[in-house]
Amino acid sequence: MTSSADAVAPPSPSAVAKVVLVLEALASVHGVSEISRGTGLPTSTVHRILQELVGLGWVRVDADRRYLPGVRLLSLAGQSASIPQIVRPILQRLCAETGHTIHFALLSGDEAVYVDKLEGDRAYAMRSRIGLSIPLHCTAIGKSILASLPKPELRTRLSRLPLTAMTPRTITDPDLLVAHLEQVGSRGYSVDDEENEEHTRCLGAAVLDHHGAPIGGISVSALTFDLDRTKVRTCAPLLLTAAREASQALGLPARRD
């Protein structure tokens, strides 16, 4: 008969098993201590695993310091539709701050697709809709995405795009567009100045993934009379803050100045 003293202790989980335990725990608990209790792993081990997963974009940390599934994990699980839900509170605040219509679009091939839209408090409404595909070369979101690409990738993508003139203001010359996008990259946001639709002006800023690559963008849209040059200067910093926070919510590490 084997005594309790002679009993063989269960093997310690492998490094891979520990990561799996932590990821499984994230379905129901979101703090280091709770995950530690649920998995039986030391808090120091849980914290180290979570920090590595955050750096890889598999886990994100919200404003309340809760650990949640990140965009890469959601995409792998077929839940990329959750991305707009993650970003929506940021869009809601931007809409309240500006009073204008706010769009969120994700890059899809050589176009972008609206995945969320919040109407402003104006008497008019934008004709856009969720699910609408938009060109990259003449929309605020599209130009902000293009301006975030490395120059070789930008040139390759532009060679594929039909630079269709949507209005008389659309930039259709590739060299002129590249020069324009350099200015966009320098200031951090783009302006669609009646380039996609007459009488409409939009500001756009790119949303980046955990590698710093553009996956989409946020825009502030209004009729031209309602978004003049003075209001552009007022709205642009609010938009840039929203785009930065959306990027961080989707896994981009916070910049340390």
Across the chain, mean pLDDT equals 88
pLDDT given for residue 74 in this prediction: 66
Residue 64 has pLDDT above 60, yes or no: yes
Question: Higher-confidence residue: 52 or 78?
Answer: 52
| Tokens coding 164 | 């269709």
Q: What digits encode the pLDDT tens for the residues 4-29?
A: 445 555 677 888 999 999 988 888 88
Residue 101 has pLDDT above 90, yes or no: yes
Residues 6 or more apart whose CB falls under 8 angstroms from that of 195 comprise 138, 139, 166, 167, 169, 170, 171
- Of 59-63, 70-74, 151-155, 240-244, where does the model show the most confidence? 240-244
Q: What digits encode the pLDDT tens for the residues 165-215?
A: 999 999 999 999 999 999 999 999 999 999 999 999 999 999 998 778 898
pLDDT given for residue 250 in this prediction: 82
Burial class (CB in 10 A: 0-12, 13-18, 19+), 156: exposed
Question: How far apart are alpha carbons 120 and 125 in whole angstroms?
Answer: 8
What one-character DSSP code corresponds to residue 172? Answer: -
pLDDT given for residue 78 in this prediction: 54
pLDDT given for residue 75 in this prediction: 59
C-alpha distance from residue 257 to each of 124, 254 (Å)? 41, 9
Residue 67 pLDDT level (bands cut at 50, 70, 90)? confident
Least confident of 34-38, 57-61, 170-174, 203-207: 57-61
Burial class (CB in 10 A: 0-12, 13-18, 19+), 256: exposed
pLDDT given for residue 62 in this prediction: 67
